Structure 1
Amino acid sequence: MKLRDFIKIQSRSVITIGPEETASAAIQKLVENNIGALPVCNDEGTLLGIISERDLLKESFQRCAVIGITKVKNVMTKQVAIGSPEDDLDYVVSVMKQKRIRHLPIVVDQKLKGIVSIRDIVDIQLEETKAQIRYIGLLPRRASIEKRRLV
């Protein structure tokens, strides 16, 4: 699939922010739209940059004294989606997509055993695809060898 195809089928419009809006406004847009980054555009729609959760987190840490006394329990997500070591990758992807999360803790008997990220999944799928391509690339040679043996 080409990115142009993705853009055509993308179901929602891209949420953007202007360069003169506040960091607080950016956080509000991220939270309200449950997204992780905002393209920064001028009034004509020209892309000027992008601001992500990570950018805002770094800035907040450097500038905000309150962050030093805020307890994690007051900020954390309490209703956590979890995975099991026995879950199929396709199932994990569907859970992450449905819940709009990028990290899924892996739990056994209420104990954390690991955590899988969307990046981990992409890496796994890439390796599987490479293996399939290598395998498919071998099929024509094997088929011709088998034909020679039969003749």
Structure 2
Amino acid sequence: MGKVRNILQVKGHAVYSINPDNTVFEALQQLVDHNVGALTVVDNNDHFMGIFSERDYARRVILKGRASKETLIREIMTERPITVSEDDSIEDCMGLMTDKRIRHLPVVDPQNRLIGLISIGDVVKFIIDDQQHIITSLEGYIKGTHV
């Protein structure tokens, strides 16, 4: 099974982020502009502070009757989210996401600096591609065309 680094090699390390002092409305605009479901939250010194997701919006803004244009990200973001490293296995990530019912995992280095973000879609795509490669290899072995 692959590692988180394998996903980041294909996907890249680019992460869409928002400042904690931005409004929820500004974050929602970014989610739409980038067609993503979550943004990492970083301060002016690029220090990783947390994550803002569609789930945070639904649970902490809409259901609480708050206004998106007046609520700051720092008020509703998920602080200290579960993170993974590049050396974690894809299988472990799938287990974490399933057990904790989360869809995004920030990837941090040993100094806890943000280096990427993977989603459940990234994990599922990797697993499907990996299984397809195994199937193709086995078919080649059976047919005698395996190299």
Pick the TM interval, shorter chain.
0.5 to 0.7
Task: State the identity as a percent.
Answer: 26
1:100 to 2:101 alignment: yes
Q: Deviations over 1:39-71 (max 9, x none)?
A: xxxxxxxxxxxxxx68x86xx89xx88210101
2:84 match: 83
Using the alignment, how far apart are the partners of 1:88 and 1:66 within structure 2? 40
Using the alignment, how far apart are the partners of 2:81 and 2:89 within structure 1? 19
Q: CA 1:137/1:114 → structure 2, altered by over 3 Å: closer, same or farther?
A: same
1:134 to 2:136 alignment: yes
The one-letter amino acid paired with 1:86 is D
TM-score by length of 2: 0.52
The one-letter amino acid paired with 1:134 is T
The one-letter amino acid paired with 2:106 is P
Larger radius of gyration: 1
SS in structure 2 at match of 1:120? helix
Number of matched residues? 87
SS in structure 2 at match of 1:67? coil
The one-letter amino acid paired with 2:99 is Q
Which is bigger in relative contact order (C-alpha 8 A, separation at least 6)?
A: 2
TM-score by length of 1: 0.51
Using the alignment, how far apart are the partners of 1:103 and 1:65 within structure 2? 24
Q: Which has the higher helix share?
A: 1
Q: Which runs of 4+ in 1 moved over 2 A?
A: none
Alignment of 1:1-150 (within 5 A): 66-108=67-109, 109-142=111-144
